[in-house]
Structures are given as C-alpha cells and as structure tokens.
Amino acid sequence: MDRAGVGKVCLALPGATLDHPFDAGHDAYRVGGKMFAIVGGMGGVSFKVSDIAFEVLTGEGRARPAPYLARAKWVHLEDPADWPDDELAEHLAIAHAIVAAKLTRKARKALGLD
C-alpha cells in the first residue's frame, strides 16, 4: 500500500481527519483530535497497536518500535508496500478503534462512534 492508499483507508474510518502537524511531508490521521497513524516524509507509516500486537510484530521483526512513540505502543513500517493491503488496512482500523475507545463518551457520540 502506498501513501495514497494509507490515506484512503484512514479517511474512510468514522470521524477520521488528516492534518500536517510537523510539516507538509508528514500526514497525521486523527480521530477526536488524537493521532492513530502517521505517514512520514520518506513513506514509512507508524500506527498505534495493542500491547500484544506490539510484542508480536516487533518480536517477529515484521515492524519496529516507532521512533518517539514506542512507549505508547506504536510500531513503524519502513515500507508499507511490503505488507498485504488488507492486513495493513485491518491494523489501521484497529489503531483507529484503540484511540477512539479512549475518547470520552461525549466525544465518541459527537463523532458518531457510539
């Protein structure tokens, strides 16, 4: 999946938005103002995962801990094209769900997530 594909998947999720908080070369996808995925200027992608997925993906070498975000259980893929599109899309949807679940009930309702 390329940068445009990641964007298409992320923006199709309920309440997802795109902004560029670092510079125009970085795409940050958010739900309720909280990031769930980032595409870097070099094309790599980072996203939030569960504690178990973090251990499995980094332990198997399928992903590496995301720079600056690993303590929050984010992983990084140097080249998202190395992953099957459907698998990456599923991980992005899960990242969205993990972050959305931490929003307040009022915020989830306003975004149509409840």
Half-sphere exposure of 88 (CA within 13 A, CB side): 27
CA–CA separation, 20 vs 71, rounded Å? Answer: 22
Q: Is the pLDDT of residue 114 over 80?
A: no
Other C-beta atoms lying within 10 Å of the C-beta of residue 45: 27
Q: pLDDT confidence of 94, banded at 50, 70, 90?
A: very high
Please determine, for residue 112, whether its predicted confidence score (pLDDT) is greater than 90: no
Please give the model's pTM, rounded to 2 decimal places: 0.93
In order, the DSSP letters of 45-104 are: EEEE--HHHHHHHHHTTSSEEPTTTGGGTEEEES-GGGS-HHHHHHHHHHHHHHHHHTS-
pLDDT digits (tens, 9 = 90+) for 4-63: 999 999 999 999 999 998 888 899 999 999 999 999 888 899 999 999 999 999 999 999
